[in-house]
Amino acid sequence: MDDAGARPEPVDGLGGLRFTGAVRRRRGLPGAVSALVWVLCLPLLAAGAVSTVLSVWPDLQLRGPLALLASFVPLGVLAAAVAAVLLLVLALFARHRAPHAVGLLLAMTLVAVPLAPTVPPLVVGPPAQPGIGLDVVSLNLLAGQADPVAVSRAAAGTDVLVLVECTPEALSALLEAGLAQELPHRSGGGAGAYDGAVVLSRYPLETVEVLSLSFQQRLVRIDAPGTGPVSVLAAHPLSPFGGTEVWAEEHDRLIALARAAEPPVVVAGDLNAVDQHVVMHRWREAGFTDVGHAAGAGWVRTWPADRRYPPVLGIDHVLTGPGLRGVELSTFDAPGTDHLGLRAVVATAG
């Protein structure tokens, strides 16, 4: 009789157990593939590690060029997220899962730690009722080069328009484009090149203080019916590329001005800082909250907006002090400037 199809005889196994066939070895991705993935992941994890260190110890950013490096912390977080995806694949399909699972845990930590201060609340507040909130639009005009018609359209229906890098010529063009009727109350007339800060309002306003730093900063008080009187600070400190010490000092002076202003306070403009910068930590410590975080808007990127690729850094912000909460935040494009504009809705807290 041909025994080609016969089943193998049971054999004794460990502990008296009996097996009826050979044990199959677990299959998985070849070792060469795992090694290649790790080669790709190591520089991604290194970028994430640098981002985490600069986020956990933000005062390090005040040393040498580290503030410039910290500008790209969000990209380091993104790199760690890519590494996490690759390591997840290895943890699921490679032959030896344990080392890849450890790497996955490391990558997830490098993503979570820098993002922790910017995670939105678990419960986002209710939308503002019509006529109750305050609509704020903010834009850097890039030395007045933004298209006035596009800006006028983007600002339609807003209550407050904050403009930095606003020249007298740009302001005239904006008023002629329809903002004179839409927002009849104004503080500031523009200034040369990158200096001018202007606030336009639907409601009566008064200028409280004009602070001359590297650029002009402007604090106004607006009699807004939806929120009651509110202080609005048009902010535009120097970039860290202009000098780390000056950049940090100008933020400190703006924080002091905002804290001394009559509450509640809204800060809007080009802050030249990403969420993980040490100066943004100081804003949060002073009691100010980013509208984007409060509203759960996600990763809001505003610069550079005039390239073939999307913006990569979120350096424009709308912040609220105690007594106000962020409800909505969105971006808009205005040809001629290298920034996306922000449109925020804030409401009274509670």
pLDDT tens digits, residue range 80-118? 999 999 999 999 998 888 999 999 999 999 999 998 877
| pLDDT at position 44 | 97
Cβ–Cβ under 8 Å, residues 71 and 313? yes
Q: Whose CA is closest to 341, among 73, 158, 125, 124?
A: 158
Confidence of residue 122 (pLDDT cuts 50, 70, 90): very low
What pLDDT is recorded for position 164?
98
Instruction: State the DSSP code for 274.
Output: -
Residue with tokens 């200096």: 195
In this prediction, residue 128 carries a pLDDT of 52
CA–CA gap between residue 99 and residue 97 (Å, rounded)? 6
- Which pLDDT score, from 0 to 100, does residue 115 have? 87
CA 284 to CA 297: how far, in whole Å?
A: 17
Residue 16 has pLDDT above 80, yes or no: no
pLDDT computed for residue 28 by the predictor: 66
Q: 134-348, what's its fold? A: Deoxyribonuclease I; Chain A (3.60.10)
The average pLDDT across 305-324 equals 95
| Model pTM score | 0.85
* The Cα angle at residue 197 between residues 193 and 198, in degrees rounded to 5: 120
| Number of C-beta neighbours around residue 69 at 10 A | 16
Residue 127: the pLDDT is 57
